Amino acid sequence: MIITQIKQRRKELDRDKNVYVPHMVLVDKIIEETPTVRTIHFHFKDPELNKEFTFEAGQFAELSIFGVGEATFCISSSPTRNDHWECGINRVGLVTAALHRLGVGAEIGFRGPYGNHFPLDIMAGKNLVFVGGGIGLAPLRSLIWNVLDNRDKYDKIAIIYGARSPGDLCFKYDLDTWEADQSLNTIITVDKGDAMWKGREGFVSEALRDAAPSSRNAVAVVCGPPVMIRSTFPVLEQLGFMPDQVITTLEKRMKCGIGKCGRCNIGNLYVCRDGPVFSYAQIKGFISDEY
Amino acid sequence: MITKKVSKKDIRKLLGTWNQECNVIVPSRVDGVVGMAAWDNQDISFLDWYRNTVIPPKSCFLPKSEVMMSFKKNENGYNLEVPTNEHWQVIFGVRPCDARANAIIDHVFAVTYDDYYYISKRRNTLLVGLSCTNPYDSCFCTSSNIDPTESEYVDLMFTDIGDDFVIEDFTGGGKALLNMSNTLKKVTKADIDKIKEVKAASVSKIKKTVDTENADRKLGSLFNDTDYWERISAKCISCGICTFLCPTCFCFDINDEMIRKQGARYRGWDSCSFRSYTRMPMENPREEKWRRVRQRVCHKFEFFPMNLGINACVGCGRCIRSCPVNWDITQVIAGLPAEAGIKSGK
Ligand code: SF4
Ligand code: SF4
Ligand code: FES
């Protein structure tokens, strides 16, 4: 039994292995995406780490403002572009508000990368359907750029992205690039347009239904607010996607990010350690609906 | 192995010898609450009044609150400092239920990532167990397959046989502690007979029992029965005492404080009984009380068995003794419908 393995466990430790001590990063650039979302670009203060640091699309990190606290963010830049790193920050609480007050040159804490990642191995050779809503484009964008930087490894690609209003669309510079790319089928929608808006109106799930991408040899990746995810799953099912062809990321309140502090569990799983990337098949098998 | 015994009047001498090399921690009343705290090198009256602590010994590795790092801002940015834990400690008087509980949370803090703060204290600790001869009515350790006079999770085990404590040693660390002392005596054949008697008597003093067999399956099939959980959780006032005092509850929160250019990052106990524990800006997956109560019960009796193959309730009875509204986890487990596990076909 496992209990005998854990008996009298004594481990060699030194201070360098204290995972709670953040690395220092410096803010290089700030992009105001929407009135409440900004992207910060950063690099490590330690030049060695700048060379060594790697992560995979879908992983997250704990950013900290000393004296205010830590908060959880996915890394929104692509692992294929390791000259700097990016996180999208939605202003919703104390730490995110402090991150919104920062200027270029500020020093903040970073620990990570944590969690699992998108299954690029499974996606290779397939048709890909990316479905995103609002700030949910942050993890998706990391994956999309990762895929586009190896474009010949994948077949057809559709990107369906929406936000509440034109002003809430994040990463507009990426959206422009993807819309201009003839090898992609990019559809942008907003729940409600304004006087200037000439594009599509309606929910992401509706845009997905209209676009009706084929489920044959395909993988769909869905990231966004829970309401959007919940309304998207049935549409994908109607389109013939099996639960294991649908991948998403889940968001929970987190503190430690490494499966210790306890709060991010769904049944016996910890989103920080066993996720944040799950297939719809896995989610359907969850004991609990607490996500 | 049982080799030595120590007379009760020599306990002060024995602890004194250890206290020269390590910090000796004993059951103590601190602000009126019994917990494990540094020994004053003198008082051994706890041998008379000690039954079990209110605050479990987990507090020696996961304190109620602790500094994770302090920071100072200067012209080159932030300077971080991490407190070190170099000192050795001997915790005297650990009960078998709590020793098992420590082993369970040892795993939590060592799996995948090492938790520096916990492990650096834990690995510098020797546990001296003490057999229970006077358990509480609310103790139900035997239902968790724990013998109140035995433990495989301590370095030494003391059992009261009248004028002496018989000592069993289990580890190199335990033997080292014994070798430090010259107040020990050899055990006799009569002592061995006596210890058997004492052990049998102790086990028979545990009157409270609960059938935990298949509790995980039964809970699994009741998991989505909202009515059931609403009924079960009705009187709980979400105070969190049961979780703070549970020796296998390990949840914590991390927070910062800063005044002018100096500050610190702390961690402290948190509880799944609190709404704020899982609250996110837009929603809260465990807003309703019944979900939080379900989390606590199912974490102990369903999720832990799924992940580790063992119940995380050791039957110490603390949550029963200290609950202000007499919520009793054994009644919940005992009250699980017998057919529940069978229906699910798991
Ligand atoms: S101690 Fe009792 S009232 Fe308080 S949270 Fe636990 S069960 Fe609820
Ligand atoms: S749930 Fe209650 S009886 Fe069980 S280990 Fe925790 S405090 Fe002790
Ligand atoms: S964030 Fe602490 S356990 Fe997942």
Domain at A48, CATH number: 2.40.30.10
Asked if residue A271 belongs to a domain, the reply is: no
Query: Are B46 and B17 in the same domain?
Result: yes
Taking the centre of ligand 2 as the mean of its atom positions, its distance from the CA of residue B171, in whole angstroms, is 27
Size of interface A-B (CB pairs under 8 A): 158
Query: Are A214 and A124 in the same domain?
Result: yes
Backbone angles phi, psi at B33, to 5 degrees: -115, 135
Query: Are B277 and B165 in the same domain?
Result: no
Asked if residue B146 belongs to a domain, the reply is: yes
> What is the per-residue pLDDT across B179-221, written as a single tens digit (0 to 9) for each?
998 899 999 999 999 999 999 999 999 999 998 888 888 888 8
Task: Give the Cα separation of B343 and B341 in Å (integer).
Answer: 6
Asked if residue B284 belongs to a domain, the reply is: yes
| Domain with B129 in it | 2-61+85-204
The proportion of chain A whose per-residue pLDDT surpasses 90, expressed as a percent, equals: 89
Query: Are A244 and A138 in the same domain?
Result: yes
Query: Are A84 and A138 in the same domain?
Result: no
Asked if residue A179 belongs to a domain, the reply is: yes
Query: Are A56 and A86 in the same domain?
Result: yes
Interface probe for B, chosen from A92, A260, A265 (most Cβ of B below 10 Å), is: A260
> What is the per-residue pLDDT across A159-168, written as a single tens digit (0 to 9) for each?
999 999 999 9
Query: Are B170 and B226 in the same domain?
Result: no
Asked if residue A5 belongs to a domain, the reply is: no
> What is the per-residue pLDDT across A9-48, written as a single tens digit (0 to 9) for each?
444 444 458 999 999 999 999 999 999 999 999 999 999 9
Query: Are B190 and B303 in the same domain?
Result: no
Q: Are B155 and B104 in contact (CB under 8 A)?
A: no
In whole angstroms, what separates CA A138 from the centre of its chain?
5
Q: Are A27 and A103 in contact (CB under 8 A)?
A: yes
Of B116, B224, B255, the CB nearest to A20: B116
Residues 185-224 of B with CB under 8 A from A: 220, 223-224
Atom of ligand 2 nearest to the CA of B140: 3
Asked if residue A23 belongs to a domain, the reply is: yes
Query: Are A36 and A157 in the same domain?
Result: no
Residue numbers in B near A18 (CB within 8 A): 82, 116-117
Of the candidates A44, A42, A31, A27, the residue with the CA atom closest to the CA atom of residue A106:
A27
* pLDDT reported for residue A16: 53
Count CB neighbours of A279 within 10 A.
Answer: 18
Does residue B156 register a pLDDT over 80? yes
Task: Give the Cα separation of A128 and A125 in Å (integer).
Answer: 9
* pLDDT reported for residue A3: 36
Asked if residue A258 belongs to a domain, the reply is: no
| Lowest pLDDT segment from B47-56, B78-87, B132-141 | B78-87
Asked if residue B19 belongs to a domain, the reply is: yes
Q: How many residues in total does chain B contain?
A: 346
Tell me the pLDDT band of A5, cut-offs 50, 70 and 90: very low
Helix or strand (DSSP H, E) at A282:
helix A280-284
Contact of B256 with chain A, judged by CB distance below 8 Å, is answered with: yes
Does residue B57 register a pLDDT over 50? yes
* pLDDT reported for residue B149: 93
Tell the residue nearest (CA) to atom 3 of ligand 3.
A259
The distance of A248 to chain B (nearest Cα, Å) reads 18
Contact of A212 with chain B, judged by CB distance below 8 Å, is answered with: no
Does residue B277 register a pLDDT over 80? yes
For the beta sheet containing A277-279, the strands, ordered from the edge strand earlier in sequence to the opposite edge, are: A200-201, A184-190, A157-163, A127-133, A218-223, A246-249, A277-279
Asked if residue A288 belongs to a domain, the reply is: no
Of the candidates B61, B59, B67, the residue with the CA atom closest to the CA atom of residue B256:
B67
Please compute the mean of the pLDDT values over residues A242-261 and round it to a whole number: 95
Query: Are B310 and B226 in the same domain?
Result: yes
Asked if residue B230 belongs to a domain, the reply is: yes
Tell the residue nearest (CA) to atom 2 of ligand 1.
B323
Helix (H, G, I), strand (E, B) or coil at A64: strand
Query: Are A104 and A132 in the same domain?
Result: no
Query: Are B272 and B126 in the same domain?
Result: no
Domain boundary among A65, A87, A114: A114
Asked if residue A1 belongs to a domain, the reply is: no
Query: Are B55 and B150 in the same domain?
Result: yes
* pLDDT reported for residue B183: 92
Query: Are B132 and B266 in the same domain?
Result: no
Q: What's chain B look like in SS3?
A: CEEEEEEHHHHHHHHHHHHHHCEEEEEEEECCEEEEEECCCCCCCHHHHCCCCCCCHHHHCCCCEEEEEEEEEECCEEEEECCCCCCCEEEEEECHHHHHHHHHHHHHHHCCCCCHHHHHHHCCEEEEEECCCCCCCCCCHHHHCCCCCCCCCCCEEEEECCCEEEEEECCHHHHHHHHCCCCCEECCHHHHHHHHHHHHHHHHHCCCCCCCCCHHHHHHHHCCCHHHHHHHHCCCCCCCHHHHCCCCCCCEEEEEEEECCEEEEEEEECCCCCHHHCCCCCCCCCCCHHHHHHHHHHHHHHHHHHHHCCCCCCCCCHHHHHCCCCCCHHHHHHCCCCCHHHHHCC
Query: Are A99 and A27 in the same domain?
Result: yes
Asked if residue B94 belongs to a domain, the reply is: yes
Query: Are B175 and B230 in the same domain?
Result: no
Task: Please indicate whether residue B143, judged by its CB atom, sits closer than 6 Å to ligand 2.
Answer: no
Contact of A198 with chain B, judged by CB distance below 8 Å, is answered with: no
Asked if residue B249 belongs to a domain, the reply is: yes
Could you write out the DSSP letters of every residue in A176-215? HHHHH-TTEEEEEEESS--TT--SEES-HHHHHHHH----
**How many domains are contained in chain A?**
2
Task: Give the Cα separation of A249 and A276 in Å (integer).
Answer: 5
Domain boundary among A82, A114, A146: A114
Encode B164-196: b = buried (16+ Cβ within 10 Å), e = exposed.
bbbbbbbbebbeebbeebeebeebeeebeebbe
Does residue A7 register a pLDDT over 70? no
Task: Give the Cα separation of A12 and B116 in Å (integer).
Answer: 10
Query: Are A46 and A94 in the same domain?
Result: yes
Taking the centre of ligand 1 as the mean of its atom positions, its distance from the CA of residue B240, in whole angstroms, is 5
Domain boundary among A98, A114, A130: A114
In this prediction the pTM is: 0.91
Query: Are A231 and A178 in the same domain?
Result: yes
Taking the centre of ligand 2 as the mean of its atom positions, its distance from the CA of residue A117, in whole angstroms, is 36
Atom of ligand 3 nearest to the CA of A255: 1
| Domain with A66 in it | 14-114
Q: Are A240 and A251 in contact (CB under 8 A)?
A: no
Query: Are B40 and B189 in the same domain?
Result: yes
Task: Give the Cα separation of A104 and A33 in Å (integer).
Answer: 16
Query: Are B21 and B122 in the same domain?
Result: yes
**How many domains are contained in chain B?**
2
Contact of B293 with chain A, judged by CB distance below 8 Å, is answered with: no
Query: Are A71 and A143 in the same domain?
Result: no
Atom of ligand 1 nearest to the CA of B243: 6
Asked if residue A204 belongs to a domain, the reply is: yes
Domain boundary among B204, B238, B258: B204
Q: Contact A13/B250, CB-based, under 8 Å?
A: no
Query: Are A163 and A67 in the same domain?
Result: no
Asked if residue B341 belongs to a domain, the reply is: no
Query: Are B235 and B197 in the same domain?
Result: no
Query: Are A140 and A183 in the same domain?
Result: yes
Asked if residue B258 belongs to a domain, the reply is: yes
